[in-house]
Amino acid sequence: MRQISYREALHEVLDYELQINPDVFLLGEDIGPLGGAFGVTTGLWQKYGNERVRNTPLSEIAIVGAATGAASVGMRPVAEIMFCDFLFVAGDQLINQTAKMRYMFGDQCQLPLVIRTVIGAGQSAAAQHSQSLEGLLAHIPGFKSVIPSTPYDAKGLLKTAIEDNNPVLFYEHKSLYNMKGEVPEEMYSIPFGVADVKRKGKDVTVIATAEMVHKSLRVADRLQKEGIDVEIIDPRTLVPLDMDTIINSVKKTHKAVVVHEAHLSYGPGAEIVARLADEAFDYLDAPLKRVGAKDVPIPMAPHLESFVIPQEEDIYKAIKSVVD
């Protein structure tokens, strides 16, 4: 099978949906002639024009407000918010309008809206451009939250997101854009709420998201040489969350570690750990462990940034603490 990058996988879906569905349009800052801050929309403005690929002012509240209004009357907008750090400039639109309109209008309108945004550190972009905030809006009923870790997942999940009739938050880790993987040429969808077992194992379950999936896989290879067999589960969507796959793994391994780049306190791992405690406590033979970023703003200096965000050694120590 051919190998393409995470960026190219996303681009293929946007190109396809623009081609087959006249209700789909893109909007966001710099997504036109420049192709977006991370190059995902390169060439689409030239191919589809201003009506379908709309450069917007530097106003997140305008982007989200326009997308929400367009979706409420039957369009299928795909909005790009350059960094997830800027989502909360449009906080009132998101939390009090986008998430609630379908409910408050008694399902008289659907809201087929996708908001693509970028998460993650690792590039010395400092405290206002490096956060992983996927857990914050997962707390708000009305959103679906998607967080792909591979080019294959990015393509299948974005297609599902664009064709969904509810608001979808689609989180892309900036360090994954250049990563290549096997991706079919044909279009396909990956259903929401279906986790993927990235690596089978019998000794401990690791639940990881985004770039942490790949760090965990490397740690698992290291631990295999020590006789520890690690199973790695990628939820792929935080809302809906596939607890069945996670619990079935824990029933087998009897141990669990949750790894994410979001800050540790009140992060998405806290929800997963709480639900494991509620729903799978009798199967656990060791304390549940979480690995996340330290509870400080993300520094710009590379050595400080590396200290704050989870590294392979942090994951290794957490796994060892539950299996030893």
Catalytic residue among 129, 173, 214, 263: 129
Amino acid, single-letter form, for residue 116: R
Amino acid, single-letter form, for residue 22: P
φ and ψ at residue 257, rounded to 5 degrees:
-130, 130
Catalytic annotation present for 129: yes
CA distance 21 to 8: 20
Per-residue 3-state assignment (H helix, E strand, C coil) for 87-114: HHHHHHHHHHHHCCHHHHCCCCCCCCCE
Q: Enumerate residues 6+ apart whose C-beta is below 8 A from 54.
A: 25, 26, 27, 28, 31, 32
Burial 53-85 (b: 16+ CB within 10 A, else e): bbebeeebebbbbbbbbbbbeebbbbbbbbbbb
**Terminus-to-terminus CA distance in the chain, angstroms?**
40
Contact between residue 6 and residue 178 where contact means Cβ atoms under 8 Å apart: yes
Provide the annotated active-site residues.
Answer: 129
